[in-house]
Amino acid sequence: MGTLPEPNRPFRWNVPTAQLGSLLDGVPEPDLWFADELVPCAAKLLARSQGGDLHFVGRSLDSVHDLLTGALQGTSAASRLHTLPISIRWLGVEPLAPHELAQLRANMTAAGLAPAALARRRTPVVFTDIVASGGTYENIHGILRDWIADERGQWDVIRHKLRYLGVTIREHTSPNTHRWQQHAAWTRELPARAIANVSLGFDVSVYFSNGQPKTSLSFSRPLWQDEQVATPGRSEERLTALAEAVAVTELGARKATREAIARLLSREPSFAEPWLRSLALELRR
């Protein structure tokens, strides 16, 4: 494909280091009514990440990212949180033009997701998002498979470095419960442990997906090369979203929240693994 363009991604405040000054003056205090669902969801995502780097796809789980950003400050896992601002659920409707594909690969390269970088990893890359049918994950998987093939990469190695961790709407479990991965043929290319899920209550799932104000625009393909997306938004919606992000990050940083996450980690089967036990100890300090 030749030389890739410069990466381009939407601006998003780094809440712990942001110098906000009077930016949020007059913005109403956010109501974190979803906190009782958010904390267990975040803890389970962390526990089921298999010690890998979490890449939050799109904007739906911004609050989980922000809570963990606050909770993991000062721990060995602080650098394992990443945002992947792409909206590609409906990508298959029209194939990507060469310039679109080049920009997408440039952005993913900057996120450490190029084939060569994946092959060198010692721990997995974990994509996480709210999932219905798994269309976004299927598109990510297809993009990576094509890219690996184009570069004659080591699929037999890389397939063991990929994880897809879905957040699904909580249901009563039964033999007839719909599980998105059972209807996604592409998942058969991966080891069984590459797919896992965490459930979230209906109201919170809908709010995070469709009702919550966001700090940035949905980064769909018409915007991938628009340099204006890198400019901070100061609309009422963006500032309302920023105020909520700040509040959620502060919630995560509280000692009580860190201890609650540590307790929840201890209930997960993966707590038998040394990396998770060590992280729980760090959270309790």
In degrees, rounded to 5, the angle at the alpha carbon of residue 21 between the alpha carbons of residues 74 and 233 is: 95
- Average pLDDT per run of 10 along the chain, which is 285 residues long? 89 88 94 98 98 98 98 97 89 82 96 98 98 93 96 97 97 76 93 96 97 94 93 93 97 98 98 98 97
Q: Give the pLDDT score at 179.
A: 84
93 token code pair: 């409707």
Q: Give the pLDDT score at 260.
A: 99
d(CA 171, CA 3): 47
8 Å CB contact between 245 and 62: yes
Q: Give the pLDDT score at 93.
A: 67
Q: What helix, strand, coil percent values describe the chain, rounded to 5?
A: 50, 10, 40
Q: Give the pLDDT score at 92.
A: 63
Q: Give the pLDDT score at 195.
A: 97
Distances, alpha carbon 98 to alpha carbons 6, 95, 103, 119, in Å:
15, 9, 9, 25
**Residue 149, amino acid:** A
